[in-house]
Chains A and B, each alone.
Chain A
Amino acid sequence: MYKKRLYLLFIAPKRDNYDMKEILSGNEAIARGAFEAGCLVASAYPGTPSTEILENVTNYKEINSSWAPNEKVALEVAIGASFGGARALVCMKHVGVNVAADPLFTASYTGVRGGLVLVAADDPEMHSSQNEQDSRNYAAFSKVPMLEPADSAECKEFTRLAFDLSEKFDTPVMLRSCTRISHGKSIVELGERKTDLPAPKLVKDAPKLVMLPGNARVRHPLVEERSIKLSEFGDTSNINRMELHSDEIGIICAGVTYQYVCEALPDASVLKLGMVWPLPANLIREFSDKVKQLFVVEELDPFLELQVKALGISCHGKDFIPLCGELSPGRIRDAFAKAGIAESVEESSLQNIELVPPRPPNMCPGCPHRGVFYELNRANAFVTGDIGCYTLGFMPPLNAMDTCVCMGASISMGSGIVRALPEEEQKRVVAVIGDSTFLHTGINSLMEMAWNKAPATVIILDNRITAMTGRQENPASGYTLSGEEASEVNIPELCRVLGIRNVRTIDPYNLEETRQAIIEEMNRPEPSVIITNRPCCLIKGADRFRKSTVLEVDQGKCTGCKACLRIGCPAIEWKPNQNGDRGKAFIDPLLCTGCTICQQLCKFNAIGGRK
């Protein structure tokens, strides 16, 4: 027996009349491809733009799918399933591959038993990321093949092919997506699930699966031979194809960039690579011989370009194609026009509109993080931050985050920074981390901080969900990916067993309590942890305030002091110059959740329950 948590996450089309043609996002298509390939086990840690792959895999009951606490664990779950003989899928965003890199590099040596596919979703332009690293480098570095689909149909087909190649060549296979592929939608023909795969079973094979030096030395040459065979496969497989048009310009490209090139330069001949590592050397030579001028057009690093040049073939690429950010048909056309290779195109009519106020993302009305950042700002803390919704605490008017590097870094960086500081400054250092991020890679950091007695303060913003990526369960939320009830990590107890003596839990909707806790723990010359105990206001069970009291501003009592504006709540609006006075605050009753933070800030009792 298990209880299901109600999900409102998906806008899933009703599927009462089964149609073989659907519009799917790249992520949905990858999930579908894994289903059709006979995949049995899938694991991931959520990360934009990869998150929806696993959320869609879980719709296929034939696949055992689950969230892992981090990407390294997710990959190891998948490697284990593969070693057991099952086809296994693991998904992550580009920076997740950094976390999973340790097992990846050695799984390259062991190879697989059941097919093993790692999806890495890059984020050129950093729509939702802290860097725009190019995952293709990992394929070359770890010596595993990488496929790169150019639309949703290819996402599905390449995922199926990746499983086949994984078993045929005895290697993990990486599938690289990017934001425009994962979150782009296009038409996909659905197929049937493969059912003729051997059943998983335990097989002892130490020379292949135990990577001690003696065994690994035998495996390494096999890895190098494998790369040569894969390159030969790429020469003849239709995964790489030439589309010959004019012989003036030839362009090598892959993934979504292929679509941009077809649109920007319709007359050019194209070598579209579906496998971006290892490269099909003979096919590239053949293509290069067919065109007068050879170009490589790719987003981010000159990954293909350097390899083409290493083959002794001269070509152009990053000498005029932008290195940073996303490409687009317009940017490619502009680059070719500026280089004098293509004519420029008359574009747009209205380029100069007047500047209008920006609309950056903000914490939601009723977010339990808001009061904490307000008090951190007041306490003049130096906040080492982390990755999650709460990173928005750096935005004005809260202005209460001073660093953000990677998952889990808040605590360890706080621990490091206090070592460099005089005692008075040490007190100001507060690390802020969410529950999911703490469980991802913050635990080791807190262990270090306790062990080495770093006198920083840690605040764990426990909102009981992985909020930023769209509210995914985590090991402390009490539910699994499929909504089954599950064990819950007891975060306060975990902090104590790691060696933190000062652990206290506070209600972040109580500003006075929050302020007291922050000041006391900042002043304590030893490691301490404060845990906030209110769930994300977007999850079920968090709406108790909304029902009780939506707040309003008593316009007679409001003096226009603007104290309530200092929390940056989207529900509070400043309306200037009402009847000649200096202006007053208003609360939007449709947005207010009744969290009372603004009420606690009003010295004139002007904010109260709506009558």
Chain B
Amino acid sequence: MSNPVTNILLVGVGGQGILLASEILSEAFMLAGFDVKKSEIHGMSQRGGSVVSHVRFGNKVFSPVVPEGHGDILFGFELLETYRYLPLMKKGATVIANDFRIPPPSVLLGQTTYPENLSEKIKTAYPDFLLVDGQGMARKAGDTRAANTVMLGAVSRRLQIADGVWQKAIEKMVPNKALEINLNAFSMGRSL
């Protein structure tokens, strides 16, 4: 497993827009001249379940799935889900998470509580951890729905890809009427 491939995992809850974010990432890697593969599960997971999308890029990518324990960057849309997928990451991986909580069914039903101090626990295991107020920054950019794009901007700092490539990828994947807000949101995240 020596082929230099960068492994990114995007995790969160069905309906949070993880697919679109992983589409933009993949598009940017292709535009930058890399081989790209991505994999996720549709179907059952759309119904508010836990979702994980794998994106891999490099000179040559074989498996569409990130080998367990080899994740380089964990891109979390929700705190509990970010924590859940930590075992997929390698030692010293980068973790960037949205400071956002969606209670799972057992918490809604009062059978258990939402785990506390998750961000501290993540920080202890993965010191390269960035917690982003995605919703708050997106509100400043003009629409809380652009939270994912703020996050994408934050992730983009860790990837050696030029501004212009990101802009092209976003322009291709985001509808025109939401483009300006999303480009704003992206640059806010990118300047974190």
Seen from chain A, the residues whose Cβ lies within 8 Å of a Cβ on chain B are: 11, 13-14, 21, 23, 48-49, 51-52, 127-128, 151, 179-180, 183-187, 256, 259-260, 262-264, 266, 328-330, 333, 345, 347-351, 353-354, 356-364, 389, 392, 395, 397, 468-470, 562, 565, 568, 570, 572-574, 576, 583
Using C-beta atoms within 8 Å of the partner chain, give the interface range for chain B: 35 or more
Give complex CA distance A256, B90 in Å: 23
Decide: B30 and A389 in contact? CB cutoff 8 A.
no
Give complex CA distance A363, B49 in Å: 10
Give complex CA distance A128, B110 in Å: 28
Known contacts A185-B37, A350-B89; is-contact A573 B108 (Cβ 8 Å): yes
Decide: A187 and B35 in contact? CB cutoff 8 A.
yes
B26 contact from A185, A348, A470, Cβ within 8 A: A185
In angstroms, how far is the closest chain B Cβ from the Cβ of A134? 19
Decide: B105 and A360 in contact? CB cutoff 8 A.
yes
Report the stretch among B65-73, B147-155, B158-166, B182-190 that lies at the interface. B65-73
Known contacts A185-B37, A263-B1; is-contact A397 B109 (Cβ 8 Å): yes
Give complex CA distance A410, B106 in Å: 29
Residues of B near A397 (CB, < 8 A) are: 109
In angstroms, how far is the closest chain A Cβ from the Cβ of B35? 7
Bitwise, B114-134 to A at CB < 8 A (1) or not (0) is 110000000001100000000
Residues of A near B112 (CB, < 8 A) are: 357
Known contacts A262-B62, A356-B83, A357-B80; is-contact A151 B43 (Cβ 8 Å): no
Decide: A183 and B1 in contact? CB cutoff 8 A.
no
Asked if B3 is at the interface (CB within 8 A of a chain A CB), the reply is yes
In angstroms, how far is the closest chain A Cβ from the Cβ of B184? 19
Residues of A near B125 (CB, < 8 A) are: 349-350, 353
Bitwise, B78-98 to A at CB < 8 A (1) or not (0) is 001101101111111100000
Residues of B near A363 (CB, < 8 A) are: 47
Give complex CA distance A184, B27 in Å: 14
- In the complex formed, the residue of B with least CB distance to A566 is B109
Bitwise, B21-49 to A at CB < 8 A (1) or not (0) is 00100110010000111111111111111
Decide: A127 and B44 in contact? CB cutoff 8 A.
yes
Residues of B near A127 (CB, < 8 A) are: 41, 43-45
Give complex CA distance A328, B67 in Å: 7
Known contacts A262-B62, A349-B125, A361-B49; is-contact A48 B43 (Cβ 8 Å): yes
- In the complex formed, the residue of B with least CB distance to A353 is B86
Query: Shortest 3 CB-CB distances between A and B: which pairs?
Result: A348-B69, A574-B110, A128-B43
Bitwise, B164-180 to A at CB < 8 A (1) or not (0) is 00000000110000000
Give complex CA distance A459, B42 in Å: 28
Give complex CA distance A328, B26 in Å: 21
Asked if B63 is at the interface (CB within 8 A of a chain A CB), the reply is yes
Decide: A347 and B115 in contact? CB cutoff 8 A.
no
Give complex CA distance A329, B92 in Å: 21
Residues of B near A187 (CB, < 8 A) are: 30, 35-36
Give complex CA distance A76, B155 in Å: 49
- In the complex formed, the residue of A with least CB distance to B118 is A356
Decide: A573 and B68 in contact? CB cutoff 8 A.
no
Decide: B106 and A358 in contact? CB cutoff 8 A.
yes
Give complex CA distance A262, B2 in Å: 11
Give complex CA distance A569, B40 in Å: 26
Known contacts A350-B89, A389-B47, A468-B43; is-contact A330 B104 (Cβ 8 Å): no
B39 contact from A21, A184, A347, Cβ within 8 A: A184
Decide: B104 and A350 in contact? CB cutoff 8 A.
no
- In the complex formed, the residue of A with least CB distance to B114 is A357
Known contacts A13-B172, A576-B113; is-contact A364 B41 (Cβ 8 Å): no
Give complex CA distance A389, B83 in Å: 28
In angstroms, how far is the closest chain A Cβ from the Cβ of B76? 13
Asked if B103 is at the interface (CB within 8 A of a chain A CB), the reply is yes
Decide: B172 and A348 in contact? CB cutoff 8 A.
no
Decide: B30 and A21 in contact? CB cutoff 8 A.
yes
A353 contact from B44, B69, B87, B90, Cβ within 8 A: B87
Decide: B105 and A11 in contact? CB cutoff 8 A.
no
Residues of A near B46 (CB, < 8 A) are: 361, 470
In angstroms, how far is the closest chain B Cβ from the Cβ of A219? 39
Asked if B20 is at the interface (CB within 8 A of a chain A CB), the reply is yes
Residues of B near A361 (CB, < 8 A) are: 14, 44-49
Residues of A near B113 (CB, < 8 A) are: 576
Give complex CA distance A389, B80 in Å: 25
A333 contact from B1, B23, B83, Cβ within 8 A: B1
Decide: B173 and A11 in contact? CB cutoff 8 A.
yes
Known contacts A180-B39, A347-B69, A349-B91; is-contact A574 B47 (Cβ 8 Å): no
B108 contact from A328, A395, A565, Cβ within 8 A: A565
Known contacts A266-B3, A565-B108, then 14 further A-B pairs from the complex at CB < 8 Å, ordered by chain A residue: A11-B23, A128-B42, A128-B44, A184-B64, A348-B70, A350-B86, A350-B87, A354-B115, A356-B80, A359-B50, A359-B80, A362-B49, A469-B43, A568-B108
- In the complex formed, the residue of B with least CB distance to A27 is B42
Give complex CA distance A363, B44 in Å: 10
Asked if B9 is at the interface (CB within 8 A of a chain A CB), the reply is no
Give complex CA distance A468, B36 in Å: 29
Decide: A356 and B115 in contact? CB cutoff 8 A.
yes
Q: Give me 14 A-to-B residue pairs in the complex whose CB atoms sit less than 8 angstroms apart, sorted by A's number.
A: A23-B36, A128-B42, A180-B39, A184-B39, A184-B64, A185-B64, A260-B63, A266-B3, A329-B1, A349-B92, A350-B86, A350-B126, A357-B107, A389-B47
